Amino acid sequence: MVLMANKTPKTQAKKDAEALEKAFKELQVSEFVKYLRSPYRIMWHNFLAGIFRGLGVIVGMTVVFAFLIWLLTNLVDFPVIGQYFVDLKNILETFSQTQR
């Protein structure tokens, strides 16, 4: 067993504590603890996150549906399956006119 002659347990513990303190400061642990202790701040962040998540869903679904509509309008011209899409288009048009 090798003994550390120049490092006493107190100085080693002190160095370890200083290294731990430095790591906590670099990781901003105190800021995170302040955040966790403030329920209103947490609620505000979650509220904002929910708003932006909802806006993302709306924008994403708009893009997807626009693409699908564009794709369906281009499929009407296909010889084999085009007639099915024309029939579907007519059914949707008559349904939308009866609902007015």
pLDDT tens digits, residue range 58-93? 999 999 988 888 887 777 666 777 778 778 888 888
Read off the pLDDT band of 11 (50, 70, 90).
confident
Name the residue ranges covered by the structural domains of the chain.
10-98
Read off the pLDDT band of 56 (50, 70, 90).
very high
Q: For tokens 């949707």, name the residue.
A: 92
What is the pLDDT at residue 55?
97
What is the pLDDT at residue 54?
97
How many other CB atoms sit within 10 Å of the CB of residue 86? 13
What is the pLDDT at residue 1?
44
pTM, full prediction: 0.48
Write out the DSSP string of 59-88: HHHHHHHHHHHHHHHHHTT-TTTHHHHHHH
Read off the pLDDT band of 6 (50, 70, 90).
low
